[in-house]
Chains A and B, each alone.
Chain A
């Protein structure tokens, strides 16, 4: 059963002769336990795809269905609930909250939703990401790579059924990047989640079950 489905989804920005077709009419579906890579050059429409899937961007036409719910039928409040419960975002700019320590970045989720990781799972996550010693630090005191790893921890902590990552390894060295992909793969397999990773790093596609290529708004499966 598809966790995520895009039916005839299209996105255009602007209008008239300034119109940009960021995503041409696209069908897409993803199942549980799948780690999927979206590759493609800059400006090809990868982020547009990811934000539509995540319910942040409304498509010009077509239907986005997450766990049998058509996002078009929901209001912003309900979409926001789905993002909170079902989706873990790992964003390009590793957006952390400046006045919260690493530990509190995760604790914030305990304030707004239930069913997050257990203490034991959390310890393992810290271990896997190598950020256990950073718990009491603020984002400003972390390196770019450390911040990125905390952002990943934040996305995984809420036990989402769909993980959406936009260039999650961009600010990491090769070894760390491989470790992060390994982690996302384990997470996907062990918890039977669906993970979509947007990247332009071809070396990472080896970890993925499926690979799609985006070119000028056209999504084509490669593997």
Chain B
């Protein structure tokens, strides 16, 4: 530490540059991870909110809720602690001023996937819905009448709920009858038994149903199969992992150049009898200090940026993930210092002192 700190103190500009680079890399990593989490939430927060074990869809739907079509009576073939039916359809909803994609969930009020209302009232009458509070930012408010693209029905927002987006669209919760009128129009009465899936809480996934035409899909699997979800995650995570590699290379190059400049100095210390392990620890300690400062500043910058971002940018910061990524960055930087350590170990003190 003695050597490491004194060197940093003497060569502030040089080390500020390294810290700056590490800061930018960690800023980017944190931001991308925030974006990944934000985009994940955009897709899954309404599903996470169910705190469910699994969803039952028809086998032939291939894990797509939209493609799955069941009858309410299928519930009788399900064995689980808690059961909730769900009908789902996508639509474009407009209140006269603005239009937006929505996902309409038809549910039974008294079942467990019914969300808590954070503003306004619960739906009671025909065509009343609770809306995702994400819609508030688009100018929607309680009392708005919503005209739908694909249906003659007019829905009315009577309340809002939080964390209610599904596959990137804000959710409107209404009762099953409302859902049936939106989906089937004139034929609503004839299809009043039709639902898309059954959401369950259960201890054991395998024992939920014996019906071969139904498939119990674990919630995480269901989410991974949402259109675009896995592709998006892979892309962002790939970028993050790539950045880890880049930061290792940057640190390795920087430190290596610095070490090469100091070869004769290390040689003198080795001639004096200062051990390889002391010198190596010094380089590692220095890297740790630089990386820790860089990552910490990057972290703070990320939080500051997040505070000033328009809410339309889908970032959400998960502290645990950020902490892990921060640690990985520091570890990766230290791996980058290993090159320099190897160089130091190989220095011949005799050559360095020009004996």
The reply to whether A51 and B354 contact each other, CB–CB distance below 8 Å, is no
Task: Kindly identify which residue among B7, B274, B353 contacts A91, using a CB–CB cutoff of 8 Å.
Answer: B353
Interface size on A, residues (CB 8 A): 31
- B265 neighbours in A (Cβ, 8 Å): 95, 97-98
Q: With A and B bound together, what is the CA distance between A111 and B355 in angstroms?
A: 26
- B264 neighbours in A (Cβ, 8 Å): 95
A57 on the B face (CB < 8 A) = yes
A129 on the B face (CB < 8 A) = no
Q: How far is the CB of B337 from chain A (nearest CB, A)?
A: 18
B114 on the A face (CB < 8 A) = no
Q: How far is the CB of A150 from chain B (nearest CB, A)?
A: 13
B270 on the A face (CB < 8 A) = yes
The reply to whether B355 and A56 contact each other, CB–CB distance below 8 Å, is yes
B268 on the A face (CB < 8 A) = yes
- B355 neighbours in A (Cβ, 8 Å): 47-48, 50-51, 56-57, 166
Q: With A and B bound together, what is the CA distance between A56 and B273 in angstroms?
A: 10
The reply to whether A77 and B350 contact each other, CB–CB distance below 8 Å, is no
Total A-B Cβ pairs within 8 A: 77
Tell which of A23-31, A99-107, A172-180 binds the partner. A99-107
Q: With A and B bound together, what is the CA distance between A84 and B277 in angstroms?
A: 14
Q: How far is the CB of A171 from chain B (nearest CB, A)?
A: 15
Q: How far is the CB of A83 from chain B (nearest CB, A)?
A: 3
The reply to whether B6 and A104 contact each other, CB–CB distance below 8 Å, is yes
Task: Kindly identify which residue among A50, A92, A99, A100 contacts B354, using a CB–CB cutoff of 8 Å.
Answer: A92
Interface centre among B264, B274, B276 (most CB of A within 10 A): B274
Q: How far is the CB of B341 from chain A (nearest CB, A)?
A: 16
Q: With A and B bound together, what is the CA distance between A97 and B263 in angstroms?
A: 11
B67 on the A face (CB < 8 A) = no
- Looking across the interface, which residue of chain B has its beta carbon closest to that of A97? B265
The reply to whether A80 and B350 contact each other, CB–CB distance below 8 Å, is no
A135 on the B face (CB < 8 A) = no
Between A and B, 7 residue pairs with Cβ closer than 8 Å are: A48-B355, A51-B350, A51-B355, A77-B276, A80-B274, A98-B10, A111-B278
Interface residues of A (CB under 8 A from B): 47-48, 50-51, 54, 56-57, 77, 80-85, 87, 89, 91-93, 95, 97-100, 104, 107-108, 111-112, 138, 166
